[in-house]
Amino acid sequence: MTSIDAAANHRRKAGVKSPKKDKPKIDMTPMVDLGFLLISFFVITAELSEPRSASLNMPKDGPPMPVGDSSALTVLLAGNDMIYYYRGNWDEAVKGNKISKTHLSSVTLRNAILHQKYQLDLNDKQENGLILLIKSTEKASYKNIIDVLDEALINNVKKYAIVKTEAAEIAWIKDQL
């Protein structure tokens, strides 16, 4: 018996060779580098953008502390970005018609703060300095309070307080509106 050669049945064409087909290889090195760069970028930016809060020092409970009339500047927040401000004592300001009205977007409040600081510097009362009293009505928004606090920081006011509005001041504001 003879053996059948399976290779003999397949004939190749003379002179034509088929190219070898290699499997494609993907270099993952740049992809891994990019992945590590993105991870490190997000870790660093997450560390840099931690939320910060302002410290708030609250006074101790007890009797109210008297404030010198010459060093006090009181700001009344009336709502709708309208404010009234006066220097010194409330009763004297009402009698002398020395209550000024302005809008929070104007620079009038900044000028009033700077003028009061300048007057205190002229009178050599730097040991006390300017005390900014912020009083809010029910119509005032949180944004209004923050805007006045920003003005205090911009003008380097070291002493400021958010104080309860007196009934006489609320009634006077209602009469103005």
pLDDT per residue over 96-131, tens digit each? 888 888 888 777 888 888 888 887 777 765 556 788
Domain ranges of the chain: 72-176
CA 104/CA 133 separation, integer angstroms:
16
CA 97/CA 135 separation, integer angstroms:
19
Residues shown for the chain: 177
Q: What are phi and psi of 156, to 5 degrees?
A: 60, 45
CA 156/CA 159 separation, integer angstroms:
9
CA 26/CA 134 separation, integer angstroms:
67
Sheet strands (E) in 110-157? 131-136
| 13-25 pLDDT tens trace | 666 677 777 788 8
The reply to whether the predicted model has a pTM over 0.85 is no
Map tokens 């053996």 to a residue.
Answer: 3
Q: For the chain, what is the radius of gyration of the CA atoms?
A: 38
pLDDT at 1 over 60: no
pLDDT at 56 over 70: no
In the chain, the largest separation of any two C-alpha atoms, in whole Å, equals 137
| 127-159 pLDDT tens trace | 567 888 899 888 888 888 888 888 888 888 888
CA 77/CA 79 separation, integer angstroms:
6
38: confidence class by pLDDT, cuts 50, 70, 90: very high
CATH of the domain spanning 72-176, picked from 3.30.420, 3.40.630, 1.10.8, 3.30.1490: 3.30.420
